[in-house]
A = this chain, B = another copy of it.
Amino acid sequence: MSDREDQLVGEFPLIPKQERAQLKRDLLLKSGHELFILKGYEHTTAKEIAANAGVATGTFYRYFSDKRQLLMSLLEDQIEMLMPPEPKWGVSDPESTLASLLEAHDKRIKEMGMQRVLPELLAKDTEFAEVLAAAKRKIFTRILSGLTKAYAKGLTWKDLDLNTVTWSLMTLAEHAPEKVKQCGIVTDYREVAKVICRLIFPPEVIKNLQSEVSTVEKE
């Protein structure tokens, strides 16, 4: 049914204009997301994205200046998901907490499905790489501040550089999902969590923290 007919028959336009536009934009984003994951960024064409979204090629360009911009919009929505969460140390058994955080993070990354596309982009798109680097710096600061507090409480190793520990922590957390591909071993988040915790806390601290928790739990 055309716009013209709409007006002739006096049908009430159920969806407000802006909302309808937003709908198309979302359709396009979804379509792009699917295809980028399926075929890679470079090998997806604007025409395909439009067709897959059920709109005309030209419509794509009404909502996005180009393919790259669609991708950027996609990433803006998702970049938060890439960020590992900041754990609160010294509150509960750090190993269990971390293990479940890692697993949850991994899950979200997988749901997002953009891992396949990101490396291609990082390599090619300087601007995007910078956006991501900035995000990482932000999370770095957050984690570092957490560790600094733990350090002040005397919970962490005294002889390790906190900056380096923070970086190691992020690096391991970020790459944990790839463990299988690289080494042929299934990722056991509990073990990764133990290793990461060892980077931060001396074993006896962990024990104390764990017993505190169980004490609390028993009470």
Contact = CB atoms under 8 A, between A and B. Distances in A.
B182 A164 contact: no
A131 interface: no
Contacts of A203: 157, 159
A131 B140 CA distance: 33
B183 A161 contact: no
A26 interface: no
A164 B188 contact: yes
Interface band, chain A: 35 or more
Contacts of A191: 160-161, 163-164
Chain copies in the assembled complex: 4
A123 B40 contact: yes
A133 B182 CA distance: 5
A72 interface: no
A161 B203 CA distance: 15
Interface of A: 40-43, 116-120, 122-124, 133, 136-137, 140, 157, 159-161, 163-168, 170-172, 175, 179, 181-185, 188, 191-192, 194-195, 198-199, 203
5 contacts: A116-B123, A161-B188, A161-B195, A168-B172, A171-B171
